[in-house]
Amino acid sequence: MANRPTAPHLQIWKWGPHMLVSILHRVTGDGLALVGLAVLLWWLGAMAGGPASYATFAEVMTSPIGYVVLVGLSWAFFSHLTSGLRHFVLDIGAGYELDINKTWSIAAPIIGIALTVAFWAIILLK
């Protein structure tokens, strides 16, 4: 048998914030695609279904569970956006220095949370 190098796996790599943000980017993208699409299709169907259908949709989305879904979707959007911008900067060849990469890996989810709080503060305080 040839003496080939082994592929890196989780026992070899040391966990860091950059790995967490990369995984979070994938999870938030999937959540936006699945849950966001379901809410969007329900909203469009409710609008096409008439006032009674839309009233049911509005009642569910303004319930506590509806707000949890909407806040979760907006958090997923802003978190995915900030980590996507981080990935974009990495794709152009910048930000690979260890300190800078770690700083932006920690900042991306925090900025996503801050943007979500600001977004909902604007909506609820108007």
| Residue 18 marked as a ligand binder | no
Q: Which CATH number fits domain 17-125: 1.20.1300.10, 3.30.360.10, 3.40.50.300, 1.25.40.10?
A: 1.20.1300.10
Q: What is the SS3 assignment for the chain?
A: CCCCCCCCCCCCCCCCHHHHHHHHHHHHHHHHHHHHHHHHHHHHHHHHHCHHHHHHHHHHHCCHHHHHHHHHHHHHHHHHHHHHHHHHHHHCCCCCCHHHHHHHHHHHHHHHHHHHHHHHHHHHHC
Q: Which of 21-30, 54-63, 68-77, 91-100 has the lowest mean pLDDT?
A: 91-100
Taking only the tens place, the pLDDT of each residue in 75-116 is: 999 999 999 999 999 999 898 898 999 999 999 999 999 999
Mean pLDDT of 44-64: 97
pTM for the whole thing?
Answer: 0.85
Q: Where are the domains of the chain?
A: 17-125
